[in-house]
Chains A and B, each alone.
Chain A
Amino acid sequence: MEIRADQTNKTPFTSLQMRNVCKRFPGVLANCEVDFDVVSGEVHALLGENGAGKSTLMKVLYGMYKLDDGEIILNGQPVTIQNPTVAINHGIGMIHQHFMLVPTLTVAENVALGLPSSKGPLTDLDVVSERIVQLASTYNLKIDPSALIWQLSVGQQQRVEIIKALYRGASLLLLDEPTAVLTPQEVDELFLIMRQMTSDGYGLGFISHKLHEVVEISDRITVLRNGRKIGTQLTSAVTKQTLANWMVGREITFITSNDKMDQGEVRIDMQAVSCPSQRGTEGLRHIDLQIHSGEIVGLAGVSGNGQLELAEVVTGLRPIKEGRVLLDGEDITGLIPGQVTEKGLSYVPEERMKDGMIRDFNISENLILREHHKWPFSKKGFLRIPYINEHTDKLVEQFRIKTPSRMTLAKNLSGGNIQKVLLARELSRSPRAIVAAQPTRGLDIGASEYVHEQLLEQRKLGTAILLISEDLDEIMALADRIAVIYEGQIMDVLPRLTATKEDLGLLMAGVHPGETIQN
Chain B
Amino acid sequence: MIKDLFTATVIIGIISSGIRLATPYLYAAIGEMFGQRSGVLNLGVEGQMLLGAFVAYFVVLRTESLLLAILAAIGVGALMGLAMGFVTIQLQATQGIAGIGFYLFGMGMSNLLFQKLIGVVENIDGFSAIKIPLLGDIPVIGEIFFRQNLLVYLAFLLVPLAWFVLNKTTLGLKIRAVGENPEAADSLGVNVALVRYFTVTLGGILSSIAGASLSVALLNVFQQNMTAGQGFIAVALVYFGSWRPFGILAGALLFSMVNALQLWIQVLGIPIPSELAVMLPYILTILVLTLSLTKGKGPSALTKAFEREG
Chain A interface residues (CB < 8 Å from chain B): 23, 25, 59-60, 64-66, 83-85, 88, 94, 96, 99-105, 109-110, 112-117, 121-123, 164
In-complex Cβ contact of B177 among A85, A113, A121 (8 A): A113
In the complex, B170 has a CB within 8 A of chain A: yes
In the complex, B91 has a CB within 8 A of chain A: no
**Contacts A84-B188, A113-B188 known; 16 new A-B pairs at CB < 8 A:** A85-B189, A88-B189, A94-B187, A100-B181, A100-B187, A101-B181, A102-B181, A104-B300, A113-B185, A113-B190, A114-B174, A114-B189, A117-B170, A122-B168, A122-B169, A164-B188
In-complex Cβ contact of A114 among B168, B176, B181, B190 (8 A): B190
Q: Do A100 and B309 touch (CB < 8 A)?
A: no
The complex places the Cα of A108 from the Cα of B171 at a distance, in Å, of 15
In the complex, B186 has a CB within 8 A of chain A: yes
In the complex, B62 has a CB within 8 A of chain A: no
The complex places the Cα of A99 from the Cα of B188 at a distance, in Å, of 12
The A-contacting residues of B in range 73-123, CB under 8 angstroms, are none
B187 to chain A, nearest CB (A): 4
In the complex, B295 has a CB within 8 A of chain A: no
Q: Do B187 and A123 touch (CB < 8 A)?
A: no
Q: Do A102 and B187 touch (CB < 8 A)?
A: no
The complex places the Cα of A94 from the Cα of B309 at a distance, in Å, of 17
By secondary structure, the B interface counts as helix
By secondary structure, the A interface counts as loop
In the complex, B173 has a CB within 8 A of chain A: yes
- Given A96-B187, A121-B171, also A64-B181 (CB < 8 A): no
Chain B, interface size category, equals: 20 to 34
In the complex, B125 has a CB within 8 A of chain A: no
B159 to chain A, nearest CB (A): 19
B169 cross-chain contacts in A, Cβ below 8 A: 121-123
How many A-B residue contacts, CB cutoff 8 Å?
79
Chain B interface residues (CB < 8 Å from chain A): 168-174, 176-177, 180-181, 183-190, 300, 308-310
Q: What are 18 sample pairs from A and B whose C-beta atoms fall under 8 A apart?
A: A59-B310, A64-B187, A64-B310, A84-B186, A94-B187, A102-B176, A102-B181, A103-B181, A104-B176, A104-B180, A105-B173, A105-B180, A109-B173, A109-B177, A114-B190, A115-B188, A122-B170, A123-B173
A110 cross-chain contacts in B, Cβ below 8 A: 177, 184
Q: Do B180 and A114 touch (CB < 8 A)?
A: no
Chain A: CB-nearest residue to B186: A84
- Given A94-B187, A102-B176, A113-B174, also A25-B310 (CB < 8 A): yes
B309 cross-chain contacts in A, Cβ below 8 A: 64-65
A125 to chain B, nearest CB (A): 9
B183 cross-chain contacts in A, Cβ below 8 A: 100
B181 cross-chain contacts in A, Cβ below 8 A: 100-103
The 9 A-B residue pairs whose C-beta atoms are closest, nearest first, are A65-B310, A85-B189, A114-B188, A100-B184, A100-B187, A102-B180, A102-B181, A114-B190, A114-B189
The complex places the Cα of A103 from the Cα of B300 at a distance, in Å, of 10
The complex places the Cα of A115 from the Cα of B184 at a distance, in Å, of 13
The complex places the Cα of A127 from the Cα of B174 at a distance, in Å, of 18
B241 to chain A, nearest CB (A): 16
Q: Do B176 and A121 touch (CB < 8 A)?
A: no
The complex places the Cα of A109 from the Cα of B186 at a distance, in Å, of 15
